[in-house]
Chains A and B, each alone.
Chain A
Amino acid sequence: MVKHFLFIWLGCVCGVCGSFAQQDTVRSYDLQEVEIRSSLPQSSFRTTAPLQTLSADKLEQIQALQLSDAVKHFAGVQVKDYGGIGGLKTVSIRSLGANYTGVAYDGITVADYQTGQIDLGRFSLDNIAQIRLTTGGSDDIFQPARNLSLGGLIEIIPQAFVPSEAKRDEIKVGLRTGSWKMANPFASYSRALGKALVWNMSGEYLSSQGNYPFRMDGEKRRRNHSEVANGKWEGNLTGTLRNDGQLTIKAYYYDSDRNIPGAVISGNTYAGERVKDRNAFAQAGYKQTLNAHWALLLNAKYSYSFMHYFNRLYLDRESRYTQRETYLSATLRYRYSQRLSFAWANDGSSGNFRAIHKDKRFLPSRATILSALSGKYETSRLTVNASGLLQAIQESSSETVSLPDRWHLSSSAGVSVQPVERWPLRLRISYRNTYRLPTFSDIYYPSIPNTRLKPENAHQHNVGGVFVTSLGNLFPYLSFSADAYYNRVENKIVAIPLSSLALWSVQNHGKADIKGFDLNATAHIRFASGFSAEIGGNYTRQEVLNEQKQLLRYTPRHFATALATLKTPWCDLNYSLVYCGNRYYNETPSWESLVAAYADQGLSIARNIHYRAYRLHLSAECLNFTNRPYEIVHAYPMPGRSFRLGIKCIY
């Protein structure tokens, strides 16, 4: 009986894990559960490698406008942010670098052939059910191979409307506005189509002047040339067919016109860079259980992106970049028994890229085949998984230079065990090997293209434990986790000047040793009469050294995040903190190269009003309320204190 109880309890804690029979569909499309349980913590109790999640209500609490605002609350994550809404935002997980971080939107990864780095500023959070971050290997083996090929994966799981007899459609409209003329209206309409299907249309617009003030050399200045206007349209068709097949079809369009303020430099406030982005994709996913043993997952995506770069200062600096990608994926799962299952994922992608500059052009293309074979053994107290991934890459180019065909084999394995049945303590250990391919900008943009570039090779090791418990009625949920990690990056791909900054090459040079640990603690406190609180925090201590045992640039030794929410019968009060220790912009720690430690703290107040079938969500936010000036990237100041007001109506 006790055993049974524990099992049920664990099941609840695991949130989306749901029932035992569907354990390895952790990343499931079963969004109803996510919605229902979004108030419960979605723990990563059973996973062999750290898995962190943020649910829809948490996203409302942390004053997140863009995806980057959310993921910086995950342990071990550092967001590189050039400031403002239009500033590039990339994510490095455990100091591996942005190229190791993938972003999967509704199950399918976003690819960037040019830089390999995904700008997280592009993704808004208005219709998101959950954000998940897997560091290292994933326990969900029933996935496309590309999702299994990355050092870390951020998954964005959109909210889905679940129709009922009484309610056939849903409308969401909202408006957020804030400092520096920020305006962000959005609307979404979902409607049931027959018995099984739901269609959805949503649109969003985000604009900002972005001219926030900052201080430099004792002088008060403002960011200028920082206007942003982003638009997003999305259409979805989802549902479960009569044969129990789950279908998701999505069409997506995003455009962004923005001025780039550039680095802050003495004397010169002129900025003339302008970027236009046009992004569209269509994707379809289909999941079908064939019989008691076999299940099939099919995914397809076609994406088109166009970017126009223009610099008013140097009129000859005008470039156009176009990327087209066709992506197909099929994963077959075989369940030998309740405990043992295998999956074979095969992905094929073909990417064409055009970079057209005034004086030269590059037209490279790359075809990739990924094949992953994974196995998983799982009982209530033990999870073991292992997988092998084969990458085959063929590349061609209009230039005489192009990479030779190549293939790489990488492996991943993990164990999670609950040593004592009565104790809610799980221990985990995992290893993962990831190849980071040279991107087109690595290969073709240097003064001299380097066709001999080898992929970067990262080994991720993790050892940790999770303890989840409750303490009486006061603490219905308490969790602690600690993970020590060691990452080794070989053949680092770096730009090396040859005889001046204008003449450079990209080479495989040196190694990085990343050692650290992440600590996480979360507590839910239930007070009397409708008051409750949720408090959580992460702390990371790390040391990132190069071959000469020097601390690598932009790697803080300490960083931490904290979130606290007080729920009262009238409103929710939230506090958020992101702390980052001292960093240096080169490998010579000195006062000159110091990028000083900072703590960015935010406060918000939110209230839900229910009136008949309407839900009205009102929020007021104060970001960086201490008005602390800081930089994440040297010479790119971050905004000081700012305010936002939001209203959202759901019917």
Chain B
Amino acid sequence: MKSRMKFVEIMSLWLLLVGISGCEKTPLPDPNPEPFTLHGVFILNQGGNKQNNASLSFYDPASQTVSTVPFPSESEPGQNEALGDLGQDLLIYGSKLYIVVSNSSYIRVLDVKTKQSLGKIVLEDNEKKPRNPRYLAAYGGKVYVTCSTDGTVARIDTASLQTDGSVNVGANPEGIAASIYNAKLYVANSGFGTGNTVSVIDIATFREEATIETGLNPNIIRAGDQTFAYLSYQGNFGDIAGGFQRIDLRNHAVTTLGAYPKADFAWEDGVIFYYDITYNPVDWSTQVTYGKFNDTGESYAHPSPLITDGTQLTAPYAIAVEPYTETVYLADAGDYSNPGTIYVFDPAGKQTDAFTVGIIPCKIVFY
């Protein structure tokens, strides 16, 4: 058993090295081509639903301090305004940070370095109904956002910060991924728990060109520069369980890997880092598992541990991996109404840091 673990670790390390070297050979079209050094970590705090208390925390690794990013009021100079209601997703693309605030139905854009506001992209339909933006993806100078209420993907021009197009997908789309491999967008159509498809959008024509049948209630989808995308789906929280699927981008074949993860996961250099929550419907206790695996059946079945020092989180809600370091950041939403905590783990799974952020930390990005 021990030797097998060792084997898995070596294999993972080897794959990782291969992955990194692979990346070096065909680098991501990163707008910052210089090698990555960590300047800071942005953490989006979702806030309570209809509480108008989403917030953005900034962690400075040099001073190990956390601050809340202020949003100066436009109408009243000297005052700050709320970030908005229900933070959902963050994306750094170019020099800009895009913040999806779902119930407020806008995307705030910040300059990553100065944290100065560059504008607000309001997403509402012709009847002024909010479109409820959800998740972001970027490709070729455009940012794409899923819009839940009207079942669309909106395209945003990153220079003008205006929407310049929209395409219909399934009902209540959630996660979105842009594939560098085939220049297509993959959109998880959740249908608020009734959907079971992923829409394929051709970026060049900006048209939905296919749908792929997936597990029930698709949630988060990630694609890198490889020929695969990965999808977590949540099921119906009842008799139909959630799980994890691999989509082959060459032929859109779907392979179910297993029952975890069902929610957020990170994909870094061919390795998937995840947390998973299962609950016991008899006593409503929750069981949280963590792990990392690469895409081999053996590695998935026996994922390597993410946490080795016995640290326990109450309600993990987001996971992110610092580029090139395998340092794992896990967000703990706690009781979902008091400020949450970010835990940092080194590649060996030892907690190296922990800091308090805002209410329900839901997304972590690095720059």
Contact with A along B311-352 (1 / 0, CB 8 A): 000010100000000000000010111110000000000000
Q: Is the CB of A263 within 8 A of B52?
A: yes
CB-CB < 8 A to A316: which residues of B? 192
Whole-angstrom CA separation of A262 from B358 in the bound complex? 23
Contact with B along A532-575 (1 / 0, CB 8 A): 00000000000000000000010000000000000000000000
CB-CB < 8 A to A262: which residues of B? 50
Whole-angstrom CA separation of A497 from B122 in the bound complex? 30
Known: A217-B73, A265-B85, A592-B53. A498 touches B279 (CB 8 A): yes
Interface centre among A217, A496, A499, A635 (most CB of B within 10 A): A499
CB-CB < 8 A to A585: which residues of B? 48, 51, 337
A264 sits at the interface (CB 8 A)? yes
Whole-angstrom CA separation of A316 from B84 in the bound complex? 25
Known: A262-B50, A265-B52, A499-B263. A448 touches B237 (CB 8 A): yes
B75 sits at the interface (CB 8 A)? yes
A349 sits at the interface (CB 8 A)? no
Interface centre among A497, A505, A634 (most CB of B within 10 A): A497
Which of B112-144 touch A at CB < 8 Å? 120, 122, 124, 128-130
Known: A263-B85, A497-B315. A218 touches B79 (CB 8 A): yes
A501 sits at the interface (CB 8 A)? yes
- Identify which of A217, A263, A265 contacts B76 (C-beta below 8 A): A217
Q: Is the CB of B359 within 8 A of A586?
A: yes
Known: A218-B73, A267-B104, A447-B237. A501 touches B49 (CB 8 A): yes
Whole-angstrom CA separation of A585 from B130 in the bound complex? 26
Whole-angstrom CA separation of A282 from B286 in the bound complex? 47
B81 sits at the interface (CB 8 A)? yes
- Identify which of A314, A503, A505 contacts B149 (C-beta below 8 A): A314
Q: Is the CB of A270 within 8 A of B128?
A: yes
- Identify which of B50, B105, B149, B277 contacts A635 (C-beta below 8 A): B50
Contact with B along A477-496 (1 / 0, CB 8 A): 00000000000000000001
A313 sits at the interface (CB 8 A)? yes
CB-CB < 8 A to B360: which residues of A? 501
User: Secondary structure of the A side of the interface?
Assistant: loop
Whole-angstrom CA separation of A359 from B194 in the bound complex? 10
Q: Is the CB of A267 within 8 A of B317?
A: no
Which of A626-651 touch B at CB < 8 Å? 634-635
Which of A209-230 touch B at CB < 8 Å? 217-219
CB-CB < 8 A to B228: which residues of A? none
CB-CB < 8 A to A359: which residues of B? 194
Q: Is the CB of B50 within 8 A of A592?
A: no
Whole-angstrom CA separation of A275 from B53 in the bound complex? 26
CB-CB < 8 A to A593: which residues of B? 53
Contact with B along A370-390 (1 / 0, CB 8 A): 000000000000000000000
Q: Is the CB of B284 within 8 A of A499?
A: no
Q: Is the CB of A266 within 8 A of B82?
A: yes
A291 sits at the interface (CB 8 A)? no
Number of interface residues of B (CB under 8 A): 52
Contact with A along B255-290 (1 / 0, CB 8 A): 000000011000000000000010101011010000
CB-CB < 8 A to B358: which residues of A? 592
Whole-angstrom CA separation of A70 from B98 in the bound complex? 49
B152 sits at the interface (CB 8 A)? no
**Nearest-Cβ distance from residue A363 to partner chain B, whole angstroms:** 18
Q: Is the CB of A499 within 8 A of B76?
A: no
B293 sits at the interface (CB 8 A)? no
Whole-angstrom CA separation of A20 from B163 in the bound complex? 79
CB-CB < 8 A to B120: which residues of A? 267
B58 sits at the interface (CB 8 A)? no
**Nearest-Cβ distance from residue A209 to partner chain B, whole angstroms:** 20
CB-CB < 8 A to B104: which residues of A? 265-268
Q: Which residue of A lies closest to B288 (CB)?
A: A499
Q: Is the CB of B75 within 8 A of A219?
A: yes
A184 sits at the interface (CB 8 A)? no
Contact with B along A440-462 (1 / 0, CB 8 A): 00000001101010000000000
- Identify which of A218, A270, A450, A588 contacts B130 (C-beta below 8 A): A270
Whole-angstrom CA separation of A586 from B263 in the bound complex? 26
B179 sits at the interface (CB 8 A)? no
A337 sits at the interface (CB 8 A)? no
B55 sits at the interface (CB 8 A)? yes
CB-CB < 8 A to B233: which residues of A? none
**Nearest-Cβ distance from residue B342 to partner chain A, whole angstroms:** 16
CB-CB < 8 A to B304: which residues of A? none
- Identify which of B76, B85, B237, B263 contacts A266 (C-beta below 8 A): B85
CB-CB < 8 A to B359: which residues of A? 586
CB-CB < 8 A to B75: which residues of A? 217-219
Q: Which residue of A lies closest to B105 (CB)?
A: A268
B101 sits at the interface (CB 8 A)? yes
CB-CB < 8 A to B339: which residues of A? 588, 590
Q: Is the CB of B284 within 8 A of A263?
A: no
Known: A270-B130, A499-B286, A585-B51. A265 touches B84 (CB 8 A): yes
B103 sits at the interface (CB 8 A)? yes
Contact with B along A307-342 (1 / 0, CB 8 A): 000000110100000000000000000000000000
CB-CB < 8 A to A268: which residues of B? 85, 103-106, 130
CB-CB < 8 A to B335: which residues of A? 496-497
A243 sits at the interface (CB 8 A)? no
Q: List 7 A-B contacts (CB under 8 A).
A: A218-B73, A263-B50, A268-B85, A448-B237, A497-B335, A498-B284, A499-B277
- Counting from the closest, the 6 A-B pairs by CB-CB distance are A218-B76, A217-B81, A267-B104, A263-B50, A265-B85, A499-B277
Other A-B pairs beyond A217-B81, A270-B128, A586-B337, 16, CB < 8 Å: A267-B101, A267-B120, A267-B122, A268-B105, A268-B130, A270-B105, A270-B124, A313-B149, A447-B237, A497-B335, A498-B277, A500-B317, A588-B338, A590-B339, A592-B55, A634-B51
